[in-house]
Amino acid sequence: MNLKEISLFLTEPILLIPEKISEQVLTGVPDISASVNVSLSSEEVPSDPNREENDIPELDIASYEGNFQKGLLVLYQGSKLSEASQTFLMNILKAVNHSLKDIALLSEAALLNGHPDSITRLNPRNMLIFGRLNHSIMQIKKGDYVIISEDYSCLFADDLKELEANKPLKIKLWTSLQVLFDIKS
């Protein structure tokens, strides 16, 4: 039977209880009486069509580290930086006269868990992106170490782990950072 055929037999609203469904999945035992409630009266069904929209919690801007005082958004691949990668990143920031108070440091995982428009809502002046992120921002990428100027300047670089161990990549990054931050050598 398909859903259309089933709808001919069931004429009353069906209510699924998520907690009971989760229990069924974990135990593997179906309990139809616990997961389906067909005895809803018309008084129990929400009458306000806008109620569903109001019940959905609004996603907050993705959570980040730093105070974001200079409008530099730093995105990195993964969910957490290793201690060595964090030290390396802080050295990069120090070289361009920035520190944690000047930036918003945001992991790929936090970005994906936050509001889909977190980047737009943060409204950065500049962005540094380390690694390959699973996010729509990657669509504007033209190449590594190329500065892209849209609503903000954006610099895509390799993952911090790769940069730490590769001197030619560090040189490419430094050259691009000098252009991005107008640093004279």
What secondary structure does DSSP assign to 56-116, as a single string? SPPPPPPP-BS--TT-EEEEESSS---HHHHHHHHHHHHHTT--GGGEEEEEHHHHHHS-T
pLDDT at 101: 95
Burial of 92 (0-12, 13-18, 19+ CB in 10 A): buried
Residue 154 DSSP SS3? strand
pLDDT at 56: 43
Element (H, E) at 156: strand 153-157
pLDDT at 15: 65
Q: How many CA atoms lie within 13 A of 143 on its CB side?
A: 5
pLDDT at 60: 77
Per-residue pLDDT of the chain (185 residues; tens, 9 = 90+): 566 666 666 666 666 666 655 555 555 554 444 444 444 444 444 445 554 444 445 567 888 999 999 999 999 999 999 999 999 999 999 999 999 999 999 999 999 988 888 998 999 999 999 999 988 888 988 888 988 887 889 999 999 999 999 999 999 999 999 999 998 86
pLDDT at 108: 93
Domain boundaries, the chain: 3-55, 72-180
CA distance 150 to 116: 18
What architecture is the 72-180 domain classified under in CATH? 3-Layer(aba) Sandwich (3.40)
